[in-house]
Amino acid sequence: MAGDAKGGDELVFKPMDQFKVEPFFGSGDVAWYTISNATVWMALAVLCIFALLVLGSSKRSIVPSRIQSIAELAYGFIHKMVEDICGKEGLKYFPYIMTLFMFIVFSNFLGLIPTAFTPTSHIAVTVIMAMAVFLTVTILGFVKHGAGFLSVFWISSAPLALRPILALIEVISYFVRPVSHSIRLAGNMMAGHAVIKVFAAFAPLVLISTGIGLVVTPLSIIAITAIYALEVLVSFIQAYVFTILTCVYLKDALHPHH
């Protein structure tokens, strides 16, 4: 499908081309140190975080400006989430969770700019973040509770006969966590952007065949607008979901006893 382009007279479907990682300056191979488009958009996300949270709050005013109130809103949102789910002792890990949330939310939103690159649509990125969460939670659990952390798999409220089966299911679901955690974010981002791209490929149909094009082109543009609006929502919700699941996993490490 993506390779069907045969020249100017045909619709060009290349929904996956937007995810290509290329060197930002010049061309050639992408080595580990190359400044690629992924690098640039990650750096932009970091700059935006800096602008919002550091420059925005630089006045430390008691009556906040607009940017400062947005920064405070983000702070309060994540702070409350961590406190509600993990309890008071979870607040020690608040900067870590805030880092993940701000980075994901800004990558998602910056990726919505046309022609932008979305770092979070790449499995490489989300897998690293999810594995970081998974390893942190596992190591933290064993450090804090020793072998007692294993009781997270042993559901003491279930009937005794069921417990071994439930333990097996719990162990499997525990190890599937980083997979679903990472694929969910990357898949959502990838799917939304690819769908927009597919609809965008239909938009120039009016240039090729005027008859059908007069119907299809406006429809596809309306569809792009609608999907775009949905993507704005999804961008935030996926960042929220990633963060809240991080909190839930962290709670398991802090309080493994059900």
Q: Which of residues 11-70 bind another protein (CB under 8 A)?
A: 16-17, 19-21, 29-34, 36, 38-39, 42-43, 45-46, 49-50, 53-54, 57, 60-62, 64, 68
* Contacts of another protein in 174-233 (CB under 8 A): 180, 183-184, 186-188, 190-191
Nearest to 92 by CA among 250, 252, 258, 257: 250
Question: Within 10 Å of residue 128's Cβ, how many Cβ atoms?
Answer: 12
Closer of 187 and 204 to another protein (Cβ): 187
**Which own/partner contact pairs does 172-178 have at CB distance under 8 Å and 24+ positions apart?**
177/130, 177/134, 177/249, 178/127, 178/130, 178/131, 178/133, 178/134
Both structure tokens of 177: 């966590």
Count of residues that bind another protein according to CB under 8 A: 72
Per the listing, tokens 């071994």 go with 164
CB of 256 to another protein, least distance (A): 18
Q: How far is the CB of 199 from another protein (least distance, A)?
A: 17
**DSSP element (H, E) containing 166:** helix 163-202
Among 98, 137, 203, 254, binds another protein (CB under 8 A): 98
Determine if 161 is a binding residue for another protein (CB under 8 A).
Answer: no
Q: How far is the CB of 193 from another protein (least distance, A)?
A: 11
Contact with another protein (CB under 8 A): which of 86, 125, 137, 254? 125
Cross-strand partners of 225: none
Residue 142 has, within 13 A of its CA and on its CB side, a CA count of 5
Query: Residue 49 Cβ, how far from another protein at the closest point, in Å?
Result: 6
CB-nearer residue toward another protein: 23 or 213: 23
Determine phi and psi for 42, rounding to 5 degrees: -65, -40
Write down the least CB distance from residue 206 to another protein, Å. Answer: 24
Q: Does residue 147 belong to the site contacting another protein (CB under 8 A)?
A: no
Min separation Cβ 218 and another protein, Å = 26
Q: Binding residue for another protein (CB under 8 A) from 82, 86, 90, 103?
A: 103
- Decide if residue 169 touches another protein (CB under 8 A): no
Contacts of 28 (CB under 8 A, 6+ apart): none
Backbone angles phi, psi at 56, to 5 degrees: -65, -30
